[in-house]
Structure 1
Amino acid sequence: MPQTLNWPDMSGPERKPKPMIWKATHQPRLKTTRRRTWLLMAAVLAPFTVTGTVTPGQVQGAGCVYPASIPTVAGQLSAAGKTWKGYMEDMQTPCQHPEPGAKDDHQGARAGDQYATRHNPFVYFEEITSSRDCRHNVLDFSSLAGDLRSVSSTPNPAYITSNLCNDGHDSPCVDGRPGGTDGGRVGALVLSPLTAGGTTSEKLYNHYSLLATIEDSFSLPRLGYAGAAGLDSFGPDVFNGTP
């Protein structure tokens, strides 16, 4: 039985965490006006201009694509000698993304191509896209099955993102399937030998809790708000079993 995390509905900067296995689920659907505004902002991948930092070292500024000077958990893993990969459903080529400042033509689904750049977090960091790691590690979802055939090719952490139909975003889907439904709370599952079957938790966690948990698991420094005072990584309410 998987671990299930439940939390009250939230809005603002502290939003709901994604699952521990890095399976990205869909977000509540935005009202039409807000969604159109968001899509217009995301249609061009503007370089991020850093204007400053706030405690505990979180950069502030405007734009989408962070400069290579901004560290990432992917970079931390590589530096520590760990492996990582991202698997994006319907991504046509490895590390597929528009150049900073260029128009993003993967905002909406097309028949046979329902990949969305905005659901691929790796391509928003030049530390990753400027490295050969991007073409080797940010792959189409079809590569996952082959990588899982052996321990040596299975990455330490793997991030998986569905296409715009299978993530519940579009309804109906461009291929005729019914797709998702209106928003709601996003579920999170922790599948681990360290979690007792049937466990549930009502403790509040957010995205930074997940980042902190990943970094703690690999003995990495916490980045940005993951290192904020008082922020909890997943605790004994989640990891309450024995391997």
Structure 2
Amino acid sequence: MRRLGVALAAFAAAAATTAATSAAAGAPESGHGHGTALPDGAIKHVMVIDLENEDFGTSFGPASPARYLNEALVPQGQLMTQYYATGHFSTDNYLAQISGQAPNRVSGNDCITNTTTFASTYTDVTPGTLDPDQARYPGQVDGSGCVYPAAVQTIGAQLDQQHHGAGQVAWRQYAEDMGNDPARDVGTPDPLGGTDCAHPAKDGAFPNRATTTDQYAIRHVPFLFFHSVTDNAAYCAQHVVPLGTVTTGSTGDTFQGHLAQDLAHANTTPAFAMVTPNVCNDGHDATCTGPNTEGGHTGGLVGADLWLKHWMPLILNSPAYRSGSMLVLLTFDESALTDTTACCNEQPGPDNANPGYPPLAASFGTLPPPTAPGQYPGGGRTGAVALNAKWIQPGSVNDTPYNHYSALRSYEDLLGIKTGGSDGQGHLGFAGQTGLRPFGADVFAGRTTP
């Protein structure tokens, strides 16, 4: 772990050695178990926020346009310089963070089944049966598709099996703009506005393009790709909800909706939360069809930074965060498409020998098709910021390699999930890979008194 000032001075040198660092990062830490280096119960809440499609240097380098991210958030937490995505495009990376499932040829292609119209199809993984070689493919199911059978668990299902305090929802997915246009998004009407559990019918198409009033993208809402969530409509509507809205003003911001309500009290803050901005505010769209958080149409890192500027104070001022019991991980789903590096001995799944190569890349001419297994091993280096009011040293920099599977393993450990999973110790899918290292004392060094 390093201090931020030292890291910035060494930025250029670090960038030059990224490839060597990535290769060295392939060796996992030996052993199984729970290695987060914190007392049991120290972290009671985990919140994951994904932005979109940027490499580490663009997001965190000296020329980054994301000033709030770099000047306000990074100094409050830990910059994880060697955090990696596990695939390209979006959908597979989101799935990995909650289930440990590896990209298949359809999920790794954003479920796009028509390369002319770029329409995505809400189709089941077929055959969806557990791969017989579990030593090689822990927790992985065979076949291609985007919607996983009911037997495939998420961290939400794991938390449902635990006892939680009165009034606390075990987990929630908050999706911005979900149900702004019910005819487009589908779902169940939510009393606070929008719709809950918004997904198409089986084998139905779902939109990939935003509208002026609705910039919701189901491909960034991973819990809706599991029958274990969607088959019970009432259960899904309780757990997959619209984010809510912020009204900005010179005298301060005003929030409405589920996230603001839930964060108002520690006992109503979910144990696990995933927050998904819309495709303008997560930085996916460079020029936004609808408005960004401040009413303009600038997207990319600038638009994402505006969203962080207004929403992160709500999160960091919440009782759960201020108590030191909440970990917030802010990262990016994947790096630029040309960066297909990986870390942490990432293994391919049984259906896709090159997790970093989406088949649609051939249509874009971005990457030549692979000629051998492992040619495109992962989703590239994105970096991440870890924030906690008690256990993370502000302004620290961590060069230890982690990826989306490492992060899932860490969340499971921190939240006390110790049984089941692909390794019998509570880790789902590739989060249960032998030797995979969870966040440890390098992340949770504690705060020092000035």
**Structure ID, larger Rg:** 2
8 A contact 1:21–1:191 mirrored in 2: no
1:24 maps onto 2:53 in alignment = no
For residues 149-179 of structure 1, give each alpha carbon's deviation from its aligned partner in whole angstroms, at most 9, with x where no partner exists. Answer: 1222211121101100001000111025121
User: Does the residue aligned with 1:118 lie in a helix, a strand or coil?
Assistant: helix
Number of the residue aligned with 1:79: 161
Higher deviation after alignment, 111-120 or 183-192 = 183-192
Number of the residue aligned with 2:227: 126
8 A contact 2:394–2:447 mirrored in 1: no
CA distance in 1, matches of 2:383, 2:275: 15
The residue type paired with residue 75 of structure 1 is A
Alignment of 1:55-74 (within 5 A): 55=135, 56-74=138-156
1:232 maps onto 2:434 in alignment = no
Alignment of 1:185-224 (within 5 A): 185-192=381-388, 193-220=390-417, 221-224=426-429
Alignment of 1:43-192 (within 5 A): 43-49=120-126, 50-53=128-131, 54-55=134-135, 56-82=138-164, 83-92=170-179, 93-105=195-207, 107-131=208-232, 132-142=234-244, 143-175=258-290, 177-180=297-300, 183=336, 185-192=381-388
Please, which runs of 5 or more residues in structure 1 have no aligned partner? Answer: 15-19, 32-36
CA distance in 2, matches of 1:227, 1:40: 29
8 A contact 2:148–2:226 mirrored in 1: yes
8 A contact 2:156–2:272 mirrored in 1: no
**Structure (1 or 2) with the greater helix fraction:** 2
Q: 1:86 to 1:38 in 2, by over 3 A?
A: closer
The residue type paired with residue 386 of structure 2 is V
Please, which runs of 5 or more residues in structure 2 have no aligned partner? Answer: 8-13, 27-45, 56-87, 90-108, 114-118, 165-169, 180-194, 245-257, 291-295, 302-334, 340-380, 418-425
Question: Displacement of 1:213 after TM fit?
Answer: 0.5
Number of the residue aligned with 2:312: none
Aligned residues: 227
CA distance in 1, matches of 2:111, 2:162: 36
Question: Displacement of 1:28 after TM fit?
Answer: 4.0
CA distance in 2, matches of 1:65, 1:38: 12
Question: Displacement of 1:96 after TM fit?
Answer: 0.5
CA distance in 2, matches of 1:87, 1:199: 29
8 A contact 1:195–1:238 mirrored in 2: yes
CA distance in 2, matches of 1:47, 1:146: 34
8 A contact 2:271–2:415 mirrored in 1: no
User: Does the residue aligned with 2:141 lie in a helix, a strand or coil?
Assistant: strand
The residue type paired with residue 22 of structure 1 is V
Question: Displacement of 1:71 after TM fit?
Answer: 1.4
8 A contact 2:152–2:228 mirrored in 1: yes
The residue type paired with residue 394 of structure 2 is G
